[in-house]
Chains A and B, each alone.
Chain A
Amino acid sequence: EPEVTQTPSHQVTQMGQEVILRCVPISNHLYFYWYRQILGQKVEFLVSFYNNEISEKSEIFDDQFSVERPDGSNFTLKIRSTKLEDSAMYFCASSLEGNSPLHFGNGTRLTVT
């Protein structure tokens, strides 16, 4: 069965550094998402992306965050200047259509030191 793949599985970065989290959604899916889960807390919506633009974003998704689909297969989340509180598990997801079930990746654990 096709899967959403995320790389790396764990990323450690220093505060203030830029980090790019990478995702390969399922190939025929049209909708892409990022969620995050701070340790011990709820999974939270960050952003949804369709037709090469952001369709919705949460209040968490401030100017430090950006998303991009640089080619036909990758979907990236960039954090420009990481803060300690950005440490979390980041999940990418994709869906075929707007109302189709989401398929999640295994997540990238980001640790900011």
Chain B
Amino acid sequence: AQTVTQSQPEMSVQEAETVTLSCTYDTSESDYYLFWYKQPPSRQMILVIRQEAYKQQNATENRFSVNFQKAAKSFSLKISDSQLGDAAMYFCAYRIIQGAQKLVFGQGTRLTINP
């Protein structure tokens, strides 16, 4: 069975600094998607970034980038120039390419931004 593990329940960073959130996963599939979702106090789950496993290039979305290490089954999220609005729960998620979009989520990391 696929599992996703986020080993950091909480992280904090100074405003304008860079922070990296860790995620590892376990799967026997070769093709899959990985995601980072943000859940601010408003509770809505917002897609931050998506990575296709067959792509070697790490996905980037403005201040957000990932370090995807397929062999190590690692998928970390780097947030550069942290802003107060980045404070939220961050969830790493996985799904296989085929079939219904059954996302498997990690436990989440609560990110605090210190002004």
**Chain A residues engaging chain B, CB cutoff 8 angstroms:** 31, 33, 35, 41-45, 48, 50, 55-56, 58, 89, 91, 93, 95, 98-99, 101-107
Given the interface contacts A43-B45, A91-B45, does A102 sit within 8 Å of B100 by beta carbon?
no
In the complex, per-residue mask of B96-113: 1 if CB is within 8 Å of any chain A CB, else 0: 010111111111100000
State whether A107 and B43 are in contact (beta carbons under 8 Å apart), knowing that A35-B103, A48-B100, A102-B103 are contacts in the complex: yes
Question: Which residues of chain B are within 8 angstroms of A99 by Cβ–Cβ distance?
Answer: 33, 97, 101
- Binding site secondary structure of chain A: strand
- Report the minimal beta-carbon distance from A35 to chain B, rounded to whole angstroms: 7
User: Do most interface residues of chain B lie in helix, strand or loop, or is the interface mixed?
Assistant: loop
Contact in complex: B44, A105 (CB < 8 Å): yes
List 4 additional contacts besides A43-B45, A106-B43, A107-B44; criterion CB under 8 Å.
Answer: A33-B101, A42-B108, A45-B104, A48-B100
Given A42-B108, A43-B105: A101 touches B47 (CB 8 Å cut-off): yes
Report A-chain residues with C-beta under 8 Å of the C-beta of B28.
none
Whether B56 is near chain A, meaning CB under 8 Å from some CB there, is no
A-B contacts, 17 listed (Cβ < 8 Å): A31-B100, A33-B101, A35-B103, A42-B105, A43-B91, A43-B93, A48-B100, A55-B100, A56-B102, A98-B100, A99-B97, A99-B101, A101-B50, A102-B101, A104-B37, A104-B45, A106-B43
A108 to B106, CA, bound (A): 21
Give CA–CA (A31, B102) in the complex, Å.
12
Contacts of B47 in A (CB 8 A): 101-103
Task: Give the complex CA separation of A33 and B45 in angstroms.
Answer: 13
Among B33, B43, B46, B100, which residue has its beta carbon within 8 angstroms of that of A89? B43
A106 touches B44 (CB 8 A): yes
CB-based contact B105/A31 at 8 Å = no
Q: How far is the CA of A103 from the CA of B35 in the complex (A)?
A: 13
Contact of A42 among B43, B45, B101, B107 (CB under 8 A): B107
